[in-house]
Amino acid sequence: MTTLTMTTLDPRSRAARRGLSDLSIRNLFIIPTIIFLIVFNIFPLLYSLGYSFTDFRASSNAPANFVGLDNYRTLLNDPFIWSNFAITAKYVIVSVTGQVIVGFGVALLLNREIPFKGLITTLLLLPMMLSMAVVGLFWKLLYDPSFGIINYAFGLGRFEWLSNPDMALYAVALTDIWMWSPFVMLLSLAGLSAVPKHLYEAAAIDRAGPIYTFFRITLPLVAPILMIAIIFRTMEAFKTFDLAYILTSQPTTEVISIRLYKMAFQEWQTGMSCALAYIVLIMVIAITNIYVKYLNKVKER
Amino acid sequence: MTHIELRGVQKWFGAVQVIKDLNLTIEDGEFIVMLGQSGCGKTTTLRAIAGLETIDEGDILIDGKPVQHLKCSARDIAMVFQSFSLYPHMTVYENIAFPLRATGMGKSGIDEAVRAIAKVLRITELLDRRPSALSGGDMQRVAIGRALVRHPKAMLMDEPIGALDAKLREEMRAEIKRLHVKQGSTTIYVTHDQVEAMSLADRIVIMHEGVLQQVGAPEEVYQQPQNLFVAQFVGSPVMNVSPAIVRSEGADVSVAIDAAVPGFAFPPELLGKLNGHAGSGALKLGIRPEAVLVSRQPQPGYVPVVAHIIEPLGSHDIVDLKVGAEILRARTPSGFVPKAGEAVHARVDPAQAHFFDTSSGKSLGVRL
C-alpha cells in the first residue's frame, strides 16, 4: 500500500497567481531531468544496441550493414577479448579484496574512543575525493623507478612497478586500493557503530573470545552494509579505465574498458565496440545480481 | 558452591560516586534482589560483579578469590540483560548454544544441553525461530536459557522483566521463581519494583544513592525498616510518615500527628522505649496503611477524621484520611467508607508503628 502525500498548492502563493497548478509545478521539476536522462543515457543505450548488430564504422562514410549476432559471435570467440576479461577479473579480485581488508581494518581501528577521531576520519577520506586522473598522474610519479618516493622509502632500488608486465596490474590495483579503501572504511564504520554495544557485553558474559566475537557477532552484523560497499566497488573496478590508462600501457593491464576504448576510438570498429559494451554491461549486471541476492539473504535475518 | 562477597567496594563515574563502601555477602543458592530507584547504583554493582564495569576500590570475591581484576570470561558468571541482548542474526537454538560454542564444547554435548534447558523453559518449539519472531516473554525465556545453559557459578539479572507488560511480568516472575527453585543457582536480581523484590527474594538489598540501606528477608525489611528510606520504598501503598508529637497525661500516652487534633492512644511503655526522644520534637511516626484502623462509629481510642479521597482497588480500598492538616492513608475493606467527605474514626495499631529520628532518618527500633 502506498500513501500519497502531496500537499495542495496554497492559492495565495505567487506560483498560483501566475496560473501554475500543482501538476504544472511538478512537471516543471521533473520533465527537464527526464529529458536529460533520455537524451544522454537512454537514447545512446538503445542507439548503441542497434549499432551492435551492424558493421558500422564511425570513421567512414560507408553505410552500416546489418550483420546480426556476428559481432557478438566474433567477440566471444576472440581469445584476446577473453584475456582482457581475465585481466579485469584479476584486477577486480585483487583491488576489491584489498579495499575490503584495508577499509574494514581501518574501520575496526577507528571504531572506538580515540582523540581526534573526526579529524582522522576526514583526513583518511581525502583520497576518495581526488580526481582519478590526478591520482593516476601522481602515483605514476610515486612509482617512478629512478626518483619515485616509494622505491626510496622501501629501499627497493630501481624496482620497476609500472614497466614490469607482471607487476603493473598490481601497481594499478594498489593505487585503486589507496584511493577507495576509505569508501569501504566509511561504510564499515557506519555498520560497526550500528552494532549494539550490549551484544558485545552479552558475548563477553558468554565467555566468547575476541576472535570468536568478531566472526560470530561483528562480521555477521556488519555483513549487509559491507556487502553494499563490495557491490559498489566491484562495479566500479569492473569498469575501471582512467587509472589503468594513465598509469601504464602494458598489455597485461589492458582491462576490458581499455580494450573497448581502443576498439571504439582507435580502431573505429564502432559496431563491434557497441557489442562489447553490451557484453560488459550484461556481465556487470549479472555479478551485481549475485551480490544483491546474497545481500537480501543476509538482510532477511 | 558459590559464595560472592563484596568488600568495601567504591566506584566513581567522574566526580560522582555511584557505589559508596559497599559490603555484602551472598551465600550459595541464595536469591538476592537489589532494590532501589534508578541511579542508585544497583545496576552498576551488578555489572561490577559481572566484570562489565571496573571498581575503583575494594574487593569482589567469588568463592574467596578476588576477581575484580579478571575479565568477565574468567569469572564464569551469567547475566540476563533488561534489553535481553539476544543475537539477532542467530536462531533461538544458536543463541542458547552460543556460550557453549564459544568455549569450544562438543557438538553432541551442546545439542543435549540446549534441548534440556529448552525443555525446562518450555521453548522447545521455538528453537528454529529468530529472536525478531518472538514475543517479549519468549525472548526473556531465551535470554534466561542462554544464561543457564552452561551452569554458571552465579546468575545475574538486570531488571529482566522490566520491559514486559504488567500481566506478562507477573507470569515471568512466577517462572523465574520456579526456575530458581528447580536449578538452585545463586542469583542476584536487580529491580526497582518492590513487588518483584518482595515476591522473589530470599534476601533484599536496598540501595539508595550508592549506599546500602538495609539487607534482610522480605518480611524483615517490610516489618522492621531501618530507616525512613526503606520504610517508604518498600510496601505499596507507601507507608504514612508524619511528624509525631508524643503527649503524656498521667498514665495515658498518645501520639498526635498534628498539633491541633487529639493523638492516637499508645501504651505507656512507649515513653521508656523512645528513650528520651519523646520530648525532642524531632520524631516521625511511620505507619503502614493496613495498620490504620477505621471505624464508622465512635469507639474508645479512635480519633474523628474525614475521608478525603477513596481509591477503590477491587479487593480493598485505599482511603486518604484527613487528620488535621496531615493525610493518613488507610487500607479498608472495599466499600467500607461509602463516599469521600464522610466523617469516620481512626486509630493506629501501636504494634505496627515505627518511630524515626527526623534528622538522621534512622529507625528508633521501637517495638510495642
Strand order in the sheet with B292-295: B292-295, B343-348, B303-312, B316-323, B326-333
Domain assignment present for B368 = no
**Judgement on whether residues B207 and B72 belong to the same structural domain of the protein:** yes
Three-state SS at B288: coil
Which residues neighbour B277 within 8 Å (Cβ) at sequence distance 6 or greater?
B283, B355, B357, B364
Third-level CATH fold of A70-300: MetI-like fold (1.10.3720)
pLDDT band at B338 (very low <50, low <70, confident <90, very high): confident
Three-state SS at B75: helix
Identify all chain B residues contacting A226, using CB atoms and an 8 Å cutoff: none
pLDDT, one tens digit per residue, over A188-245 is 999 999 999 999 999 999 999 999 999 999 999 999 899 999 999 999 999 899 999 9
pLDDT at A1: 44
**Judgement on whether residues B135 and B251 belong to the same structural domain of the protein:** no
Q: Where a domain ends, among B193, B226, B259? A: B226
Q: Where are the alpha helices (DSSP H) in B253-359?
A: 269-274
Identify all chain A residues contacting B85, using CB atoms and an 8 Å cutoff: 196, 198-199, 201-202
Q: Where a domain ends, among B202, B226, B250? A: B226
- Taking CB atoms and an 8 Å limit, are A202 and B81 in contact across chains? yes
Q: Where a domain ends, among B226, B253, B269? A: B226
Which residues neighbour B229 within 8 Å (Cβ) at sequence distance 6 or greater?
B206, B208, B213, B361
The CA–CA distances, whole Å, from B75 to A135, A268, B9, B85 equal 53, 74, 17, 20
**Judgement on whether residues B66 and B161 belong to the same structural domain of the protein:** yes
Domain assignment present for B367 = no
Q: pLDDT at residue A19 above 80?
A: no
Element (H, E) at B57: strand B57-62
**Judgement on whether residues B268 and B179 belong to the same structural domain of the protein:** no
Q: B209's torsion region: left (phi>0), alpha (psi -120 to 50) or beta?
A: left
pLDDT at A50: 92
Strands (E) across B271-315 are located at: 283-287, 292-295, 303-312
Query: Is the previous residue joined to B300 through a cis bond, with omega within 30 degrees of 0?
Result: no
Which of B7, B149, B148 is closest to B160 using CA atoms?
B148
* Separation of CA B309 from chain center: 27
Q: pLDDT at residue A2 above 60?
A: no
- Tell me, yes or no, if A192 comes closer than 8 A to chain B by beta carbon: no
Question: Which residue in chain B is spatially nearest to A200 when comparing CA positions?
Answer: B85
> For residue A2, which amino acid is it?
T
**Judgement on whether residues B253 and B166 belong to the same structural domain of the protein:** no
- Taking CB atoms and an 8 Å limit, are B89 and A212 in contact across chains? no
pLDDT at B1: 65
Domain assignment present for B234 = no
Q: What is the mean pLDDT of chain A?
A: 90
Average pLDDT over residues B93-119: 92
Q: At what angle do helices A270-300 and A219-238 cross, to 10 degrees?
A: 180
Phi, psi at A66, each rounded to 5° = -70, 125
Q: What is the mean pLDDT of chain B?
A: 89
Looking up cell 561504510, which residue turns up?
Answer: A187
Q: Which cell goes with A64?
A: 552500416
**For residues B305 and B329, is the Cβ–Cβ distance under 8 A?**
no
Q: pLDDT at residue A299 above 80?
A: no
Positive or negative, the CA dihedral B89, B92, B93, B98 is positive
**Judgement on whether residues B310 and B222 belong to the same structural domain of the protein:** no
Identify all chain B residues contacting A217, using CB atoms and an 8 Å cutoff: 87
Domain assignment present for B13 = yes
**Judgement on whether residues B183 and B277 belong to the same structural domain of the protein:** no
pLDDT at B10: 92
Strand partners, B317: B312, B332
Q: Choose between B1 and B325: higher pLDDT.
A: B325
- Taking CB atoms and an 8 Å limit, are B72 and A204 in contact across chains? yes
**Judgement on whether residues B162 and B251 belong to the same structural domain of the protein:** no
Which residues neighbour A136 within 8 Å (Cβ) at sequence distance 6 or greater?
A175, A242, A243, A245, A246, A247
User: Does this complex have an ipTM over 0.90?
Assistant: no
Nearest to A201 among B85, B86, B99 (CB): B85
pLDDT at B279: 66
pLDDT, one tens digit per residue, over B18-62 is 999 999 999 999 999 999 998 898 999 999 999 999 999 999 999
Q: Which cell goes with A266?
A: 582507435
| Domains in chain B, number | 2
pLDDT, one tens digit per residue, over B203-260 is 999 999 999 999 999 999 999 999 999 999 998 889 999 888 888 887 788 888 888 7
Q: pLDDT at residue A100 above 70?
A: yes
Domain assignment present for B252 = yes
Q: What is the CATH number of the domain that holds B64?
A: 3.40.50.300
pTM: 0.79
Question: Which residue in chain B is spatially nearest to A198 when comparing CA positions?
Answer: B85
- Domain limits for position B157: 4-226
Nearest to A207 among B81, B102, B130 (CB): B102
**Judgement on whether residues B114 and B205 belong to the same structural domain of the protein:** yes
**Judgement on whether residues B206 and B66 belong to the same structural domain of the protein:** yes
**For residues A191 and B65, is the Cβ–Cβ distance under 8 A?**
no
pLDDT band at B12 (very low <50, low <70, confident <90, very high): very high
Average pLDDT over residues A69-92: 93
Average pLDDT over residues A103-118: 92
Q: pLDDT at residue A73 above 90?
A: yes
- Domain ranges in chain A are 70-300
Domain assignment present for B112 = yes
